[in-house]
Structure 1
Amino acid sequence: MIHPVLLCGGSGTRLWPLSRKSYPKQFARLIGDESLFQASARRLSGEGFAPPLIVTGDPFRFIVTEQLAQVEMGAKGILIEPEGRNTAPAVLAAALCLAAEDKGALMLIAPSDQVIPDDGAFRAAVQAAAPRALAGDLVTFGIAPTRAETGYGYLELAPGADVEAATPQPLARFVEKPDASKAQEMLTAGTYLWNAGIFLCTAKAAIAAYETHAPEMLEAVGASLASAARDLGFTRLGSESWERAENTSIDFAIMEKASNLAVMPFGAGWSDLGGWDAVWLESAPDADGNVCSERATAIGCEDTLLRSESPDLELVGIGLSDIIAIAMNDAVLVAHKSESQRVKEAVAALKARGASQAVQLPRDYRPWGWYESLALGGRFQVKRIVVNPGASLSLQSHHHRSEHWVVVEGTARVTVNDEVSLLAENQSIYIPLGAVHRMENPGKLPMVMIEVQTGSYLGEDDIVRYEDVYART
């Protein structure tokens, strides 16, 4: 049995404005109708695969469970990192967790933000690599390169290895992201593969590698797991010990130092969607090289990506060549395709200016559903709130604002102090300043409400929670 370990704690700044710190790229629908996380979970499922073990951050824990439920999947467990410290501590926490049940557990470590079009071919490659991993080796997956790519790390195969083999091959070394000339040299040499960041090994072999090459991390992460707490089905790793773990990748901490390495070549298609140019490439451009979303139109354009992410916004490109244009309600990106890797510079510049668009989507996802701001003034705000069937907001009050709720779809059960009301469509209720209140959706369909806030302060931190089914504080 193979135990998938899905890592989904990254921020994905290179795909801004669709991917932001509050809702990174693995949860977005960039290619097709599913998120990258959902597609990854599906890929690593079926015969021979156990339910996935997920490692993520606190802000994403309910997004993970909701997106898994949407594709009718469950998780073996969800580990919550106190803070993101790159992949090395995350992988070790998963290995220790699996080893507690079975030291010989075969773990497939994979990012949750990659595109692999041929799921069957990838599962077959994993099965082909399994005997080598069960024998104690650390097997990494290498992708057959199709271009001189500077955005990926590389794997150099040992002399005599076959880059097209259907079984794991000996690995000479890891190579950092190259410049353009070096990338071309490696492509021409034909003995290099892209580093996919996917690994197959037993929990025992992984822990042994940490014992040899990163003992301090093993101590810190082990203590963090020992002090972990259960919370609504999640496992919260202990924060004090976790802070002692070095912030580094598994490549640097373990793989570049280990001697029991092998590489499994894979040539059936792969992308880590590391920039909008990769999204364009993986989205099947038309005869003119254009990719347009439903609300985008290209006139006289070539090799261009046009995406409108708002149902109320039409994006039109005229006479464009090699341009990326991404339009959202609160932010627009326009860039030459060759400069797409510089998007993270734009995010850094917005952060320096204090612009909320750098990290926060206009739609804020919560465990009960989501909301978005429709209008904001000095002493008022209008929100659209969508509450999932059976979900409930916390019992709360506010010091600085009153609220007026109007149900526009579905049914709401509303508590105001000691009074409970059932509101149907086109009914409303007023929540006075300081009143203890709660909103619930008792129905079978999503409930949509318009909220009008008025007061001297409208920040989200003006919430006093008394009860919360999601254990937020």
Structure 2
Amino acid sequence: MSGETRIVPVILSGGAGTRLWPASREAHPKQFLPLLGDRSTFEDTLTRVSDRSVFAEPMVVTGEDFRFLVADQLTRAGVAGRIVLEPMRRDSGPAIAVAAELLRQKDPDAVMLVLAADHLVTDPQAFTATAAAGLDAAQAGALVTFGIRPTQPATGYGYVRPGATMDGRVNMVAAFVEKPDAETATRFLAEGYLWNSGNFLFRADVFLGELKRFEPEIAAAAAKVATAIARDEAGGISFERIDRELFAASPAKSVDYAVMERTDRAAVIAADYAWSDLGSWNALWEISPKDADGNAARGAVSLIGARNVFVVSEEVHTAVIGLEDIAVVATKDAVLVARRDVAGDLKTLVGDLRADETTRRLADEHRKVLRPWGSYEGVDRGTRFQVKRIVVKPGARLSLQKHFHRSEHWVVVTGTATVEIDGVEKLVRENESVYIPLGAWHRLTNHGRIDLELIEVQSGSYLGEDDIVRSQDDYKRV
């Protein structure tokens, strides 16, 4: 690695991940889920770039709705970093452009490593070595993509054809190729093509210069956005907000179409580690440990006469008998049974669910809904009542709020709650309850050192989440 330069990881983590429904949903997408172990792929990505002799602290570009998820998982991974909030999705090109402008403000010679938050890399040391090996080429002005040596003739990935040797392990890109059919993919495997991983290493100023050549509107919007970043704090966490109007002026386009497939500066470094973009249930099956019949399972699962199936079961016991080449994913409120190789149809399914008011929630939220202060989960519901299980993290508190259409009972199960009702505070301990009348201003705080758990019983004419009026809120949702 050249001199004292440290690579700045820029982690893109604003996607929805609909091809992994029902586990991945709009409000809690796949990059924040523990799909293959105890940690999410976002946490794994943070850990992968934690060697401070090679990498600087990361910048995470994400959506407004994911800001507290990102902050929580940064803390859990023990990593400090900048959190930049997109007001809307404009694909990867504009997001990377804004990140490049922000990095260039601080360091005109900044080298950035663009990573997706939802990819799997099995060998972090090999990943670090690959990034370090590509640094000289990036500093010399190349836009380096990481190419993965194919293990099979996959039709779900784009490919890169390496050209002339540029610097050590780095080659110029002779061609980018879209996803091929099976016959073409087999030929690519024999001819030394590489999978295009979508990870990039380049100088911020060089990328912006090429962007200005090919997509001047994106470049101009990014330059304006970077000078108008709003910095604020919510829940003790600092965020950098992108201006909505300025960002909306940028055309939505992927970095591949905007720059990489058009520039003559594109280069590729062959990566010597296993990689997956986890873009489908089939991809997860491929990389999961399997039994003698090719089955991969997580959770409470029974298999009889099944072959090459992938089963995930969150709570219920799921049995698969005499079936082959399918995926079964059972969450608390939805079950998917499909051919393992189905991916595009899942996007169609999620779109259909979202278009129907009766099923929209299944497309967007899990039964357990995360909030910056903790979570809540529906337990039961009737015509004029609803029961929830609420968990409040240590030191956290809900907003000061009231409801026009419902009253509430809170029963503490674990911990001690400080409850404020119309300006009067009281402590509510385990097995004690408190009543919040309709229209009363109320707030709940966990001053303890363990999670506060309670059962909430709502009663009233309307029980929607939008029946909340907030007066004060630590997370600026007023």
Please say whether Structure 1 and Structure 2 have the same fold, judged by a TM-score greater than 0.5.
yes
Report the counterpart of residue 232 of structure 2 in structure 1: 231
Q: 1: distance between equivalents of 2:431 and 2:250?
A: 54
RMSD over aligned CA atoms reads 1.4
Report the counterpart of residue 368 of structure 2 in structure 1: 363
SS at match of 1:217: helix
Report the counterpart of residue 179 of structure 1 in structure 2: 181
8 Å Cα contact 1:103-1:204 kept in structure 2: yes
- The one-letter code sitting in structure 2 at the alignment partner of 1:7 is L
Q: Which blocks of at least 5 consecutive residues in structure 2 are unaligned?
A: 1-5
* Larger mean Cα displacement after TM superposition, 426-435 or 343-352: 343-352
SS at match of 2:121: coil
Matched residues, percent identical? 45
How many Å apart are 1:282 and its aligned residue?
Answer: 1.2
Report the counterpart of residue 3 of structure 2 in structure 1: none
Counting only pairs closer than 5 Å after superposition, residues 369-380 of structure 1 correspond to structure 2 as 369-380=374-385
- The one-letter code sitting in structure 1 at the alignment partner of 2:210 is A
Report the counterpart of residue 289 of structure 2 in structure 1: 284
Q: 2: distance between equivalents of 1:100 and 1:434?
A: 49
How many Å apart are 1:166 and its aligned residue?
Answer: 6.2
8 Å Cα contact 2:90-2:250 kept in structure 1: yes
Report the counterpart of residue 39 of structure 2 in structure 1: 34
How many Å apart are 1:338 and its aligned residue?
Answer: 3.0
- The one-letter code sitting in structure 1 at the alignment partner of 2:202 is C
How many Å apart are 1:351 and its aligned residue?
Answer: 2.1
Q: 1: distance between equivalents of 2:147 and 2:154?
A: 14
CA separation of 1:118 and 1:386: change in aligned 2, threshold 3 A: same
1:331 aligns with 2:354: no
- The one-letter code sitting in structure 2 at the alignment partner of 1:208 is G
TM-score (norm 1): 0.96
Q: 2: distance between equivalents of 1:466 and 1:340?
A: 44
SS at match of 2:95: helix
SS at match of 1:295: strand
CA-to-partner distance for each residue in 1:255-299, whole Å, 9 max, x for gaps? 111111110111320000010011111111122211111311212
SS at match of 2:275: coil
1:215 aligns with 2:216: yes
- The one of 71, 75, 94 aligned to 1:69: 75
Q: 2: distance between equivalents of 1:300 and 1:74?
A: 48
How many Å apart are 1:341 and its aligned residue?
Answer: 4.4
Q: 2: distance between equivalents of 1:353 and 1:188?
A: 47
- The one of 58, 63, 76 aligned to 1:52: 58
How many Å apart are 1:429 and its aligned residue?
Answer: 0.3
8 Å Cα contact 1:408-1:450 kept in structure 2: yes
CA-to-partner distance for each residue in 1:88-133, whole Å, 9 max, x for gaps? 0110111111111101111100000000000000100000000100
8 Å Cα contact 2:280-2:342 kept in structure 1: no
CA-to-partner distance for each residue in 1:386-441, whole Å, 9 max, x for gaps? 11110111011111111110110111111101210111111110000000000111
- The one of 108, 113, 128 aligned to 1:108: 113
Q: Which blocks of at least 5 consecutive residues in structure 1 are unaligned?
A: none
> Number of paired residues?
466
How many Å apart are 1:205 and its aligned residue?
Answer: 1.1
* Larger mean Cα displacement after TM superposition, 439-448 or 220-229: 220-229
Report the counterpart of residue 274 of structure 2 in structure 1: 269
SS at match of 2:47: helix
Counting only pairs closer than 5 Å after superposition, residues 291-302 of structure 1 correspond to structure 2 as 291-302=296-307
SS at match of 2:106: coil
1:349 aligns with 2:357: no
Q: 2: distance between equivalents of 1:102 and 1:338?
A: 45
* Larger mean Cα displacement after TM superposition, 181-190 or 97-106: 181-190
* Larger mean Cα displacement after TM superposition, 105-114 or 207-216: 207-216
Q: 1: distance between equivalents of 2:300 and 2:111?
A: 45
- The one-letter code sitting in structure 1 at the alignment partner of 2:173 is L
TM-score (norm 2): 0.95
Counting only pairs closer than 5 Å after superposition, residues 159-198 of structure 1 correspond to structure 2 as 167-190=169-192, 192-198=193-199
Q: 1: distance between equivalents of 2:219 and 2:366?
A: 36
Q: 1: distance between equivalents of 2:7 and 2:40?
A: 23
- The one-letter code sitting in structure 2 at the alignment partner of 1:462 is D
* Larger mean Cα displacement after TM superposition, 387-396 or 286-295: 286-295
CA separation of 1:89 and 1:67: change in aligned 2, threshold 3 A: same
SS at match of 1:333: strand
8 Å Cα contact 1:224-1:240 kept in structure 2: no
Report the counterpart of residue 144 of structure 2 in structure 1: 139
How many Å apart are 1:353 and its aligned residue?
Answer: 2.7
Q: 1: distance between equivalents of 2:175 and 2:395?
A: 53
CA-to-partner distance for each residue in 1:55-97, whole Å, 9 max, x for gaps? 000010000010111121121x111001011100110111111
Which consecutive segments of 4 or more residues in structure 1 shift more than 6 A? none
8 Å Cα contact 1:297-1:306 kept in structure 2: no
- The one of 114, 120, 129 aligned to 2:125: 120
Q: 1: distance between equivalents of 2:203 and 2:54?
A: 15
Q: 2: distance between equivalents of 1:286 and 1:268?
A: 24
